[in-house]
Amino acid sequence: MSTQRLRNEDYHDYSSTDVSPEESPSEGLNNLSSPGSYQRFGQSNSTTWFQTLIHLLKGNIGTGLLGLPLAVKNAGIVMGPISLLIIGIVAVHCMGILVKCAHHFCRRLNKSFVDYGDTVMYGLESSPCSWLRNHAHWGRRVVDFFLIVTQLGFCCVYFVFLADNFKQVIEAANGTTNNCHNNETVILTPTMDSRLYMLSFLPFLVLLVFIRNLRALSIFSLLANITMLVSLVMIYQFIVQRIPDPSHLPLVAPWKTYPLFFGTAIFSFEGIGMVLPLENKMKDPRKFPLILYLGMVIVTILYISLGCLGYLQFGANIQGSITLNLPNCWLYQSVKLLYSIGIFFTYALQFYVPAEIIIPFFVSRAPGHCELVVDLFVRTVLVCLTCILAILIPRLDLVISLVGSVSSSALALIIPPLLEVTTFYSEGMSPLTIFKDALISILGFVGFVVGTYEALYELIQPSNAPIFINSTRAFI
C-alpha cells in the first residue's frame, strides 16, 4: 500500500461507541491546523476536557465493575487489590503507548486521525521485518477481530447479567420486605430456568439493535448512565455498613483461581478501544494524556474499593455480580432492576461496534433493494449468536473471565507494547524499553493462555457449584 494512498484515504473509526460514522474525522489534510500536525482545535462537535473525562469514566464502568468482588476473592484480600493496582497501571501505560504511536503516524503521514486498527497497520509497515511490512494489512484485521470478539463478549455478559438479576428479583418477590437490615428468612418462589429468561429478552434486544443511528440511541445512553450511577451509589451505601471481621478471609487465594481473577480484571480495564476516538474529539488534544491518567486513576480507585469492600462485606458467598448479594428488600431490589435497565440499553451501544465492522461486508454484496433487509437480518443473527453463547455459558463470572482472557488481554496488554517496538525500533529504542515491552506482552500472553484454559476448564469440570444464595438472607 503506497504512502500516497494512505494519505488520500478517509478512515472511519468504529472502535468506540462514542463515535458514529457521521462523526468520524475525514477529509485528510483539510482538518489539519498546520502541515504535519495532528492537533484539532475548535471543531463544532469537539468535546471539552470535562466531557471527555465523563465519556472515559462511562466507558470503563459496566458489568466488569460488579464482578470485581468475586475477582478479589479469586486472588485474596491482599493479593487482589495489589494485582488490580498493577494491572491498572500497566493497562493505562499501554493506552499511553497507543496514543503516542497514533500521534507519531499522524505527524508522519499528515493525517488528522488514525484509529487503533490504522495505527497497528502503519506500525507493521514501519517494521524492519519485510514479512511484517508485506502483511501489514493483517494488523487492522487482527484488531477488528478482537474488537468484534470483545464487544460481542460484552453482549453475552449482558444477557447473563439480565437473566440472573431478573430471575432473583422475581423469585424473591413474595418475600421482599421494606426492612433492609433484619436477617429474615425468604422463601423463594421457583420460576423458569435462567436460560429461558435470556430467551425472553432476545426479541426486545433484537428490536433495540434495529435502531441503526447511534445518535438516536443517545437518549437511551443518558437513561443508562443515570440508572447505573444511582445503583452504584446505593451499592456503596450498603457495603460500607457493618463490615464483618475479615480475619477469616485468605490473604492470598490458591494459585489455581488467580487466572480467573486476571480475566475479570482485564475485562474491567479493557477501555483501550475508546482512547483514540475520545482524544480525536477533544478541542485541545494536547490535554488528553492528563485527562486519560486522571480518569483512569478514578476508575482504578473505584475498582479497588468496590472489589475489596464487596468481598469484605459478603466474604465467601460473593457472587458473579455483587447485585446478586444485595438484600431482598424493595430498595435494593430496585437497585438490581435499575442497573439491569442500564445494562439493557447499553447492549445497543456495545453492539454498535461489531455491527459497523461486520454488516457493511454483507450489505455491499446484496442487491440495492435488499440492503435494508440484509442489514436487519445480520443484526438479528448477531444478537441471536450472543444469546446462544450466553445460554451455553450461563455463569456470569466465567463469561466475564473468558471474554477478558481471550480478547481484552490482546487489545489491552499484548498488542500495544509490540506496536511500540515495530513503530520505533528502526528509529532507535533503548534496550530497557524493548525489555519492558516484551515483558508486558509476554505477561499478557501468559494471562491469555492460562486464563482462557482455567475458564474453559471450570466450565467443563466446575470445582465448586455456582452460589445461588443471598448472603444477607437464609433461603429455605
The answer, yes or no, to whether residue 472 has pLDDT greater than 60, is: no
pLDDT in the model for residue 181? 63
Is residue 424 situated within a structural domain?
Answer: yes
Sequence length of the chain is: 476
What's the predicted TM-score (pTM) here? 0.80
Give the residue-averaged pLDDT of 47-56.
83
Joined grid coordinates for residue 380: 438479528
SS (H, E, C) the chain: CCHHHHHHCCCCCCCCCCCCHHHCCCCHHHHCCCCCCCCCCCCCCCECHHHHHHHHHHHHCCHHHHCHHHHHHHHCCCHHHHHHHHHHHHHHHHHHHHHHHHHHHHHHHCCCCCCHHHHHHHHHHCCCCHHHHHCCHHHHHHHHHHHHHHHHHHHHHHHHHHHHHHHHHHHCHHHCECCCCCCCCECCCCCCCHHHHHHHHHHHHHHHHCCCCHHHHHHHHHHHHHHHHHHHHHHHHHHCCCCCCHHHCCCCCCHHHHHHHHHHHHHHHCCHHHHHHHHHCECCHHHHHHHHHHHHHHHHHHHHHHHHHHHHHHHHHCCCCHHHHCCCEHHHHHHHHHHHHHHHHHHHHHHHHHHHHHHHHHHCCCCHHHHHHHHHHHHHHHHHHHHHHHHHCCCHHHHHHHHHHHHHHHHHHHHHHHHHHHHHHHHCCCHHHHHHHHHHHHHHHHHHHHHHHHHHHHHHCCCCCCCCCCCCCCEC
Query: How far is Cα 402 from Cα 419, in angstroms, rounded to an integer?
Result: 24
Report the domain count for the chain: 1
Q: What is the mean pLDDT of residues 230-241?
A: 90
Res. 27 pLDDT band, cuts 50 70 90: very low
Q: pLDDT tens across 80-125, in order? A: 999 999 999 999 999 999 999 999 999 999 888 888 999 999 999 9
CATH number at residue 281: 1.20.1740.10
Given this model, what pLDDT does residue 31 score?
Answer: 37
Interval 344-394: pLDDT, tens: 988 887 888 888 889 999 998 888 888 899 999 999 999 999 999 999 888
C-alpha cell of residue 291: 485527562
Residue 250 lies in a domain: yes
Q: Locate 370 and state its grid cell.
A: 435488499
Span of 129-143, 300-314, 327-341 with lowest mean pLDDT: 327-341
- Residue pair 51/277 in contact by the 8 Å Cβ criterion: no
Residue 33 predicted with pLDDT over 60: no
CA separation, residue 425 to residues 1, 36, 431 (Å):
21, 21, 10
pLDDT one-digit tens code per residue, 206-219: 999 998 776 677 77
For residue 2, being part of any structural domain is answered with no
186 forms beta bridges with: 475
Read off the pLDDT of each residue in 447-455 and give the average, rounded to a whole number.
91
Examine the pLDDT at 43 and tell me if it is beyond 70: no
pLDDT above 70: residue 15: no
Domain presence at residue 473: no
- Across residues 410-430, what is the average pLDDT? 92
- Structural domain contains residue 266: yes
Compute the distance between CA of residue 82 and CA of residue 253 in angstroms, rounded to an integer.
13
Domain region containing 63: 49-459
Distance linking the first and last C-alpha atoms of the chain: 67
Which pLDDT score, from 0 to 100, does residue 465 have?
A: 46
pLDDT of residue 328: 80
**pLDDT value at position 442?**
96
pLDDT class of 176 with cuts at 50, 70, 90: low
* Residue percentage of the chain with pLDDT more than 90: 41
pLDDT level of residue 5 (50, 70, 90 thresholds): very low
CA distance 40 to 33: 6
Q: How confident is the model at residue 470 (pLDDT cuts 50, 70, 90)?
A: very low
Instruction: Give the distance from CA 142 to its chain's centroid.
Output: 18
Q: Indicate the average pLDDT of the chain.
A: 82
Residue 401 has pLDDT above 80, yes or no: yes
**What pLDDT does 41 receive?**
40
Q: Residue 439 has what pLDDT?
A: 96
As a whole number, mean pLDDT of residues 322-336 equals 86
Residue 34 lies in a domain: no
Q: Which of 365, 430, 420, 467 is nearest to 124 (CA)?
A: 420
Which amino acid, 23?
A: E
On whether residue 277 sits in a domain, the answer given is: yes
Domain annotation covers residue 471: no
What per-residue confidence (pLDDT) applies to 45?
Answer: 55
pLDDT at residue 287, rounded to an integer = 85
pLDDT in tens, 180-228: 665 454 556 667 888 899 999 999 999 999 987 766 777 777 788 888 8
Specify the pLDDT at position 68.
93
Q: For residue 186, what is its C-alpha cell?
A: 425468604
